[in-house]
Amino acid sequence: MIRVAVAGVAGRMGKTLVQAITESAHLNFTAGFEHSAHGQIGDDVGAVCGLPTLGVVLAAEPSAHTDDFDVVIDFTVPQATLALAETCATHGKAMVVGTTGFDEVQLATLRGCSERTAIFVSPNMSVGVNLSMRLIELAAQALGDEADVEVIEAHHKHKIDAPSGTAVRIGEVLAKALNRDLATDAVYARQGITGARDPKTIGFSTIRGGDIVGEHTVMFASEGERLEITHRAHSRTNFAQGALRAVSLVADASPGWYDMQDLLGI
């Protein structure tokens, strides 16, 4: 059995992960973490997550519990993820990271930690999303500059970063397939007299509202037709299952940086 910890267990994704781990036949939930100001530090994680008693106490300091887990899953915020990554690298514990919103310096720091331990990183753990990225890549290569390309994403009102990490990753896939530079060709907002569309543009539109779990559409619009590739998440369960598959990948892996391409072989 692989012993698994979850950082941010009181969040929406954290609760989904804890439940999925407890239902797994080959994983054992052994530690749960939250920030030190959380009001339920010291309580059983089952009570925190609305589950039966699990016999695991909610803790604030992962460094004091490194003997309790083999892999930790982290869907929190960049600063907290980096602190946890340093702890894991120091103690040889593997990580599965679904956190988004890293800047380039933070990603470089995370990659540095992966030189000392196995770290799996994906802005979206959904198998379906990552398969759709392969379809997007194929469509972009086939259509080239004949179609204008736009990325539309929608998430719940509580999401703090925009565009989503998944949308940014889609943009990177498009830029590579179309031989463009996302740093200069991406357009994240349009207002007023913008002029005609630059053919090299990779456009992004962001929607925030309600309890939308996650939707991503890439539109290839050309003269006379439009191709759309869409993925819609109906619950967080698919993200949790992807993360659990990643746990199995990195549990005994050598130090290094792993992603969905390694997991799915695509």
The tokens describing 53, both together, are 């008693």
Q: Which of 91, 159, 176, 200 is catalytic?
A: 159
User: In this structure, what is the dihedral angle of CA atoms 169, 172, 178, 179, given to the nearest 10 degrees?
Assistant: -170
Closest Cα to residue 202, out of 232, 223, 181, 222? Answer: 181
Whether 38 is catalytic is no
Half-sphere exposure of 49 (CA within 13 A, CB side): 31
237 close to 243: Cβ distance less than 8 angstroms: no
Whether 159 is catalytic is yes
Closest Cα to residue 200, out of 185, 210, 182, 212? Answer: 185
Q: Which of 15, 65, 93, 155 is catalytic?
A: 155
Sign of CA dihedral 218, 220, 221, 224: negative
Which residues does the annotation mark as catalytic?
155, 159
